[in-house]
Amino acid sequence: MNDSIERILFTEEEIKEATAKVASEISRDYKDAEGTTVLLCILKGSLVFCSDLMRKLDFPTELEFMKVSSYGSGTISSGQLNITLDISRKDLSDINIIIVEDIIDTGITLSRIHDMLVKRGAKSVKTVALLNNPARRGTPYEPDYSGLFMPNEFVVGYGLDYNEKFRDLPYIGVLKPEIYKR
Ligand code: PRP
């Protein structure tokens, strides 16, 4: 295990099972959907989850990316949302969008992106988060699909970072407090 990790919260196997569970729920709901279904991967943290999820869905999807920033360099949310990379297509009227997130904390990011895509005229917009941290919720927003509910701890790995590090860990672990408090 990485020296900076206090303990593993979710193993590779648990992540795989949770991904299969949400993939099966999404596949059930979208198998007869009309139009094009696009997975919208919110960079950077969702890259790993999105990559695994798309290969578990049993219907065809297309892929788009958006990069937003609601956090500074530390662990506290600033509450701001800045779009630094936008979706590449303009006409969304025939597009079912599934926003793919690694984690929902306050809910600010998902709820704002959801509302923005609805305003832009998407055919439908749903959201999936691998990790759901309900204790941090500052808005009444809940994703349509949640993989794993987690305790209110600072976690890294499987795409999630602290100051850009630890995204490459194959598991999700609790960071040792001395790493982010020093
Ligand atoms: C994380 C995560 C979500 C957001 C969730 O992204 O990937 O996008 O925070 O927080 P919220 O529910 O409080 O809005 P982050 O800004 O850390 O960027 P990154 O994915 O590039 O690491």
For residues 130 and 46, what is the distance between their CA atoms, to the nearest angstrom? 9
Q: What is the pLDDT of residue 73?
A: 43
43: β partners: 67
> Residue 14, SS3?
helix
Instruction: Give the mean model confidence (pLDDT) for residues 124-150.
Output: 96
pTM attached to this predicted model: 0.94
77 touches 108 (CB < 8 A): yes
Q: What is the pLDDT of residue 30?
A: 96
167 in contact with ligand 1, CB cutoff 6 A:
no
Residue 81 lies in a domain: yes
174: β partners: 7, 155
117 touches 93 (CB < 8 A): no
Q: What is the pLDDT of residue 101?
A: 98
Residue 173 lies in a domain: no
Protein residue closest via CA to atom 22 of ligand 1 = 45
48 in contact with ligand 1, CB cutoff 6 A:
no
**H/E stretch holding 113:** helix 108-119
Residue with tokens 């900076």: 4
pLDDT of 150 > 60? The answer is yes
Mean pLDDT of the chain: 93
Residue 22 lies in a domain: yes
138 lies in which domain range? 13-151
Residue 142 lies in a domain: yes
pLDDT of 69 > 60? The answer is yes
Residue 65 lies in a domain: yes
Look at the chain and count its residues: 182
Residue 8 lies in a domain: no
CATH code of the domain containing 46: 3.40.50.2020
Protein residue closest via CA to atom 3 of ligand 1 = 103
**Whether 105 is catalytic:** yes
Would you say the C-alpha torsion 47, 51, 57, 59 has a positive or negative sign? positive
Task: Provide the residue type at 21 as one letter.
Answer: K
pLDDT of 77 > 70? The answer is no
pLDDT digit string, tens, across residues 91-133: 999 999 999 999 999 998 999 999 999 999 999 999 999 999 9
- Quote the percentage of the chain above a pLDDT of 70: 93
Q: Which atom of ligand 1 is nearest to the CA of 104?
A: 12
Q: How many domains does the chain have?
A: 1
Among the listed residues 32, 91, 105, 168, the single catalytic one is 105
Relative to beta strand 155-156, strand 172-175 is antiparallel
**H/E stretch holding 180:** helix 177-181
Residue 47 lies in a domain: yes
Residue 159 lies in a domain: no
Q: Which of 103, 142, 163 to mutate to test the pocket of ligand 1 (most atoms within 8 A of CB)?
A: 103
